[in-house]
Chains A and B, each alone.
Chain A
């Protein structure tokens, strides 16, 4: 029969590790959720993409389509 030394302290330590793991997972979920909500609240995704600091011709409004909509 294999020896098994499981002190009560080990159980508590395991509980603490699981707790910290869950807290970290929760933090990741919160930051991810906040990112999604904040981006969606911008409405127009171009407002978000504008912060890319790179020239992106595809996000410049098409003058022809704007004129057509007016």
Chain B
């Protein structure tokens, strides 16, 4: 990257700068979960229609990321982790981010409507609205539970993928949504316990700072306890089966044990071993979500060959 600053008006953004507005790492998670939602659905989808639908969901997610960067440019500039994002670093202007966010949102929703159905397009539109308006503009700066409600935006993609294939919402897609929704808080708060953030300096309330670290430890355990029945419940639906259930039982026991360990210790103990348990739980939580969705894919593949399911 060349030397530049916000005042360097000679700089013109390149394609890579615009792409960075779309939060590519978040998009990759969205593509994966939406693809699983689409592939495990009982209705087959033409490969090209499936490809375009996933592309639309990814672009919609990217557009909401651009809108988030437009709205949050002021706090992004104050935090180390986000100071190098395109707007605070001066590579793009807020207006460009807003234009790209709104333009791509419309493009993604309309193309998804033409590709699949009204329900899938409506869910995508609602997801973009939820992330950009409900989370970014409203909740993020007003409540320490921002991550709980905000997690819903990241939980919609498998439900949209399912809706692309079936044109409906069912218990399976609701439970896939709930799995990500309930997983997000313990995953994020485990991270918040061992990473020093500067959210407080930027005026963003985080549970570790507003309610204290002990309360955060309780919340990690509480949300993990609530997560377990959702994960196991998904196993007894039409998209579950013995393989999924085996994976879910092992991972939920592992995650629950980690959350319990987090709850039973305090910061003094955590300082002594450099937050080993908190780091371990965060790492497990990453495998946890990935493995559950891979297990759903395995069940779908087995079902095609007549050996999956209950």
| B-binding residues in A (CB < 8 A) | 8-9, 12-13, 15-16, 19, 30, 33-34, 37, 41
Q: Is B111 an interface residue (CB 8 A)?
A: yes
| Residue from the set B12, B15, B46, B48 with the largest chain A CB neighbour count within 10 Å | B15
Mark B11-47 against chain A: 1 for CB-CB distance below 8 A, else 0: 1111100000000000000000000000000000010
B115 within 8 A of A: yes
Cα-based distance from A61 to B287 in the complex (angstroms): 59
B52 partner residues in chain A, CB cutoff 8 A: 30, 33-34
Q: How far is the CB of B22 from chain A (nearest CB, A)?
A: 13
Q: Is A9 a contact of B46 with CB atoms below 8 Å?
A: no
Q: A8-B2, A30-B52, A30-B111 are in contact. Are A37 and B46 (CB under 8 A)?
A: yes
Chain A residue at minimal CB-CB distance from B16 = A15
Residue of A nearest to B47 (CB): A37
Complex-state Cα separation, A41 to B2, whole angstroms: 51
Contact bitstring B43-79, A, C-beta under 8 A = 1, else 0: 0001011001001000000000000000000000000
Chain B residue nearest to A26 (CB atoms) is B55
Q: Is B10 an interface residue (CB 8 A)?
A: yes
Complex: A9 Cα to B12 Cα, angstroms: 7
A9–B2 alpha-carbon span in the complex (Å): 11
Task: Name the distance in Å between B45's Cβ and chain A's nearest Cβ.
Answer: 10
Per a CB cutoff under 8 Å, which of A12, A30, A34, A41 touches B14? A12
Chain A residues with CB under 8 Å of B111's CB are: 30
B46 touches A41 (CB 8 A): yes
Interface residues in B112-142 (C-beta closer than 8 Å to A): 114-115
Within the complex, the shortest CB–CB distance from A58 to chain B, in Å, comes to: 29
A70 to B14, CA, bound (A): 65
Pairs A-B, 4 closest by C-beta atoms: A19-B15, A12-B14, A37-B48, A15-B14
> In the complex, what distance in Å separates the CA atom of A9 from the CA atom of B17?
14
Measured CB to CB, the closest approach of chain A to B85, in angstroms, equals 18
Beyond the given pairs A16-B12, A34-B48, 16 more chain A to chain B contacts, judged by CB atoms under 8 angstroms and listed by A's residue number, are A8-B2, A9-B10, A9-B11, A12-B14, A15-B14, A15-B15, A16-B14, A16-B15, A19-B15, A30-B52, A30-B55, A30-B111, A34-B49, A34-B52, A34-B115, A37-B49
Q: Please name all residues of chain B whose beta carbon is closer than 8 Å to the beta carbon of A8 when the two chains form the complex.
A: 2
CB distance from A16 to the nearest CB of B (A): 6
A8 to B12, CA, bound (A): 10
How far is A33 from B46 in the complex, measured between Cα atoms in Å? 12
**Are B13 and A16 in contact (CB-based, < 8 A)?**
yes
* A residues less than 8 Å from B2 (CB atoms): 8
User: A13 contacts which of B12, B46, B114, B115 (Cβ < 8 Å)?
Assistant: B12
Q: Which residues of B contact A12 (CB under 8 A)?
A: 12-14
A sample of 20 inter-chain contacts (CB < 8 A) reads A8-B2, A9-B12, A12-B12, A12-B13, A15-B14, A15-B15, A16-B12, A16-B14, A19-B15, A30-B52, A30-B111, A33-B52, A34-B48, A34-B49, A34-B52, A34-B114, A34-B115, A37-B48, A37-B49, A41-B46
